[in-house]
Amino acid sequence: MTDIGFIGMGNMAQALVSGFKAAGKMGEGRIYAYAPNQKKLENNCRRLGMESCSSLKEVSQKSDMIFMACKPYQIEDVLKELGDEICGKAVVSVAAGWNYQRYRSALPADARIQFIMPNTPAAVGEGVFLAEEENDLMEEERNFLFELLTAVGMVKELSSRLMDAAMAISGCGPAFMDMIIEALGDAGVKNGLQRKDAYELACFTMVGSARLKMETGLHPGELKDNVCSPAGTTIKGVASLEESGIRYAFIKAIDEVLK
């Protein structure tokens, strides 16, 4: 039985807990959480079926594996306050900028670290989890962690040097996809559709297109060409998007994230 603890209970932590609970992968293990705002924490714990802790020390003592889910700028102070309490623990970081090497210089020698980067669709079992190849979890800890993660999404192991580029796509990508859904919804409303119907059409079209790409393995350009008839409506829309620089807009957005 492995008990896990969350330090920080923001949107990402809530998404992870929701996904773990829905997948039924915790068995007899318990989930504990600590956050400075105790009233908000208690409300979230009741809603998600967790146990709230009143201090960093308490959540560390009760947990075998600790998810560092607080803001990146808070981690240094958290580690200082925990001190030796974190000795012998498995630490899973979901905070951008805190990779294996950075933790290794800040943690006690017998604390073990795995840096992962999740995204919010984990809450509905469709998450992407980037896992840094460099880590020092014990084999059984890593197996347990990956079993949890694969129950609510897919895990992609990458070298340390590629983590930032991948995070820009999978971590920021949901916001970019939401903007596309919103824009298509606005276009539908502009042309007479009810907003609910327009959003539903946009969402199912996006999900279906992604699944078609994944299951067929076809190049996205080929899938696009399959929809574009000569002098047809789709190619006219594609030409308009190209005129607006849609491809470069996405490439530039990723470049901006990585600056």
- Within a domain: residue 49? yes
Do residue 109 and residue 47 come from a single domain?
yes
- Within a domain: residue 236? yes
Count of beta carbons in the 10 Å neighbourhood of residue 82: 22
Residue 220 sits in a domain whose CATH number is 1.10.3730.10
User: What pLDDT, on a 0 to 100 scale, did the predictor assign at position 20?
Assistant: 84
Domain that holds residue 114: 4-159
- Within a domain: residue 165? no
Q: What pTM was estimated for this model as a whole? A: 0.87
Q: Which of 133, 159, 185 is the last residue of a domain?
A: 159
User: What pLDDT, on a 0 to 100 scale, did the predictor assign at position 122?
Assistant: 85
pLDDT digit of tens for each residue in the chain (259 aa)? Answer: 689 999 999 888 998 888 888 777 776 678 999 999 999 999 999 999 899 999 999 999 999 999 999 999 999 999 999 988 898 999 999 988 899 999 998 888 899 999 999 998 888 889 999 999 999 999 999 999 998 899 889 999 999 999 999 999 999 999 999 999 999 999 999 999 999 999 999 999 999 999 999 999 999 999 999 999 999 999 999 999 999 999 999 999 999 999 9
- Within a domain: residue 220? yes
Do residue 45 and residue 101 come from a single domain?
yes
Do residue 155 and residue 181 come from a single domain?
no
Do residue 132 and residue 232 come from a single domain?
no
> Could you give the C-alpha distances from 122 to 18, 106, 217, in angstroms and in order?
8, 29, 23
User: What pLDDT, on a 0 to 100 scale, did the predictor assign at position 52?
Assistant: 94
Do residue 120 and residue 241 come from a single domain?
no
